[in-house]
């Protein structure tokens, strides 16, 4: 098979997985997912000679960079769309609000948001994309051992944040701390 044919096969097989990857990281911005995914595959096309035999983790790595570029390069336009659109209402629509919520998803998203971006990404790759350490290493562009270590540490930090939130929610709230979502991130 030529590089073009291999690329086309990877595109067909992984288009939706890459779309889910992007959608998970652009929550509430469904209209932007398709354009970012298009950019991912445009970049992948240019680099199709590098496409590995198991392309999905590699495509996730491309997508990670495209998302970062999208945030930087299109920030100006996104702000405009935010102002004119209804994104305010869309943001976090599916996430239950506040640590007092009983929805388990809310706990975890809250805890995840308190971690550093690098920790968040390695955890998402493990939990949502269900990658193993070797695949995470490809997606992050690091060695396998480093990926495993990052995941281990990030899991520990996530556990700590979940415990912290549960403890805070278990305590009766005084009127003063009735809005705990504004808590600053831990130092």
Note the residues at the interface with another protein (CB under 8 A). 4, 7-8, 11-12, 15-17, 19-20, 23-24, 27, 30-36, 38-39, 41-42, 45, 70, 73-74, 76-78, 80-81, 83-90, 93-95, 104-109, 112, 123-124, 126-128, 130, 155, 158-159, 162
* Distances in whole angstroms, Cα of residue 42 to Cα of each of 32, 67, 70, 141: 16, 13, 14, 19
* Least distance to another protein, CB of residue 179, Å: 22
What kind and span of H or E run contains 182? none
* Least distance to another protein, CB of residue 2, Å: 11
Q: Between residues 1 and 84, which has the closer beta carbon with respect to another protein? A: 84
Query: Does residue 161 contact residue 111 with C-beta atoms inside 8 Å?
Result: yes
* Least distance to another protein, CB of residue 9, Å: 11
Q: Between residues 80 and 116, which has the closer beta carbon with respect to another protein? A: 80
Q: Where are the alpha helices (DSSP H) in 74-132?
A: 75-84, 87-90, 104-113, 117-127
Burial (Cβ within 10 Å: 0-12, 13-18, ≥19) of residue 15: middle
Tally of CB atoms within 10 A around 113: 13
Q: Between residues 108 and 149, which has the closer beta carbon with respect to another protein? A: 108
* Least distance to another protein, CB of residue 63, Å: 13
Q: Between residues 118 and 177, which has the closer beta carbon with respect to another protein? A: 118
């Amino acid at each position: 098979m030529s590089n073009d044919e291999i690329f086309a096969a990877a595109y067909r097989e992984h288009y939706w997985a890459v779309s889910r990857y992007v959608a998970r990281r652009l929550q509430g911005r469904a209209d932007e997912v398709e354009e970012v995914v298009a950019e991912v595959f445009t970049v992948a096309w240019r680099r199709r000679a590098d496409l590995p035999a198991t392309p999905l983790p590699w495509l996730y790595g491309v997508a990670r960079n495209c998302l970062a570029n999208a945030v930087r390069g299109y920030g100006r336009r996104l702000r405009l769309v935010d102002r004119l659109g209804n994104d305010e209402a869309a943001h976090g629509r599916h996430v239950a609000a506040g640590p007092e919520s009983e929805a388990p998803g809310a706990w975890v998203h809250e805890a995840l948001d308190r971690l550093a971006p690098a920790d968040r990404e390695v955890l998402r790759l493990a939990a949502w994309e269900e990658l193993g350490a070797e695949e995470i290493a490809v997606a992050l562009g690091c060695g396998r051992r480093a990926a495993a270590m990052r995941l281990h540490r990030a899991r520990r930090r996530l556990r700590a944040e979940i415990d912290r939130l549960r403890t805070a929610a278990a305590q009766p709230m005084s009127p003063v701390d009735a809005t705990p979502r504004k808590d600053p991130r831990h130092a």
